[in-house]
Structure 1
Amino acid sequence: MHSASLELKFITEKIRRRFGVMDSLEGTTWDPKVMEVPPGNRFLVISPHPDDDAIGCMGTLLKLRDNGSELRTLYPSIQSGNFTQDERISEINAAIRECDIQNCRLNKSSFPNAADLKDMISDEILTFQPDTILVPSPFENHDEHLRAFHAVADLLENNNEINVMMYEVWGALMPNLVIPISETMEKKLSVIRMHGTQMEDIDYVRMVRGINEYRAAMNRLEGYAESFIYMPGKDLKKMF
């Protein structure tokens, strides 16, 4: 696992050069590191809405759960729409039961302002003491996903102990880490289906099948895979 972490740091440097040294792109291509489970033991998941984790990283979370890792999920908001809050909460609880990741905190209101969001995440970091945080990437085409990313980047600017895994929901990223999830894919899709009100406009099952199959194919894997940018949290603001 230690050698894998060093390889991820090497690939991260290539990502940094891609973004930061625009006059010289030589040596900035890379193959993502393929790992059965990511480095770390205690994983805090920041899911801006209570289906983002299901869409972006549930296959990996299920593997971590089965591997005995400690998981904690923060849902800073609940969606509103053509449904009642009770209906949405019922779906969220059904999804939590389906994936059997019970250590969750749900804020049953609209998306918080920047200060409140940072306070929520800071509380989770202090109480759960994660070594890895999962959060949507800065390539997301969704303002609230980006706000979650920036909150984590601000909080970890001077933190030398916590690593970050950025996942994709509404925007594709350039990964340095790929996790095969064929063994957990059907359960992942089952969790997504629990969020029925959120699929009236977008078929997330179809979307997830497509991108997870693409991620596997592009990395010469069978079946399905999830992709991440993995790096030390202290580097987020410098990188992006």
Structure 2
Amino acid sequence: MMLIQILRQTVVRFLRPDARNSLAIALMLSGHDRWPRPIDAWPERKVLVISPHADDEAIGCGGTILKHVAQGAEVTVLQLTDGRNGCKRLQDPTLPADERAALVAWVRQTREAEARAWAAGAGVQAVEFLGIPDSEVDASTHAVAGLRAVLERFQPDLIYVPAITDLLEDHWRANLLLDAALNATPGPWQQRLLLRSYEVWSPVPANRTVDISAEFPRKLALLKLYKSQLADVDYCRAIEGLNTYRSTLLARTGQGYAEAFLEASLPGWRAILAGRN
């Protein structure tokens, strides 16, 4: 264990933050491999899903959210950013300024409308928006205050958040924002809190799986509500591949569809965050 700590401290100075996160997790998982356990009980009554961009919740844990809703849980989806960069045309440096401004406004409005449509279709109780500019998720005073207000009001039993190992910067930085907001929101409800890290752009080192075979057709149909995003990327094909691959972790190995998570208590999740530094 001491050797692993020395190695982590040595190499961390020379790595980009995103690579650093992935290596830190790999070094922490130094024990024997353990097969992910299936989640087959749904006792949580209050579930908060943190989605950096409108569609992350649908991709990473859409089938599991449907299970929570079916079990009568109160589910709130918190969209962190305004999604203003979610269009490939905006990457064109020759795009005139007036067209760019109009397109950004259209993307922001469309992403919010699609997120609301997804939430209504999934049957979640609420969807909220922090309005952080896309690609600028961090633990700023404004962002922490916004997330803190949601935590104080809702006091969830379970939080879903993208994995700290995810490639997209807004995704792993969502963990740093959540940590700051939790520190600013002390209370006895945190003693029962569980966190599940979900995967979007990078597979998570999973210790939990959910069989979403029955929910998958509906998950896919709901994902198609994000038409503006599917115009640029075929997320439906990608997520069918990921959830098919994750079915290898089910008892019916390689059959059906599954979502995978890294589950931890609040102290365990914070230990993972601390390991990235």
Tell me the TM-score normalised to structure 2 length.
0.73
Structure with the greater alpha carbon radius of gyration:
2
Offset, 1:38? 4.8
What is the CA deviation profile of residues 80-115 of structure 1, one whole-angstrom value per residue up to 9, with x for unaligned ones?
235513333332222222212141112345245422
1:127 to 132, 136, 153: 153
Offset, 1:202? 1.7
Structure 2 counterparts to residues 45-84 of structure 1, below 5 A: 45-80=49-84, 81=87, 82=89, 83=103, 84=106
Structure-1 residue corresponding to 2:133 = 110
- Paired letter, 1:107: L
1:229 and 2:262 matched: yes
Q: Distance in 2 between matches of 1:107 and 1:20?
A: 32
Moved more, 105-114 or 91-100: 105-114
Q: Distance in 1 between matches of 2:272 and 2:110?
A: 40
How many pairs align? Answer: 221
1:34 to 26, 38, 53: 38
- Paired letter, 2:176: H
Offset, 1:144? 0.6
Verify the 8 A CA contact 2:54 2:112 in the aligned structure 1.
no
Verify the 8 A CA contact 1:160 1:234 in the aligned structure 2.
no
Offset, 1:117? 2.3
Moved more, 188-197 or 74-83: 74-83
Q: Once the two structures are aligned, what percentage of the paired residues are identical?
A: 28
1:90 and 2:120 matched: no
Q: Distance in 2 between matches of 1:206 and 1:18?
A: 28
Aligned CA RMSD, in angstroms, stands at 2.3
Structure 2 counterparts to residues 108-187 of structure 1, below 5 A: 108=131, 110-111=133-134, 112-115=137-140, 116-156=142-182, 159-187=190-218
Structure 1, unaligned runs of 5 or more: 1-15
SS in 1 for 2:81: coil
Structure-1 residue corresponding to 2:221 = 190
What is the CA deviation profile of residues 12-58 of structure 1, one whole-angstrom value per residue up to 9, with x for unaligned ones?
xxxx996348xxx4x42001011234552211111111110000001
SS in 2 for 1:170: coil
Structure-1 residue corresponding to 2:10 = none
Which stretches of structure 1, 4 residues or longer, exceed 6 Å deviation after superposition?
none
Is the alpha carbon distance of 1:178 and 1:38 closer, same or farther for their aligned partners in structure 2, counting shifts above 3 Å?
farther
Verify the 8 A CA contact 2:81 2:132 in the aligned structure 1.
yes
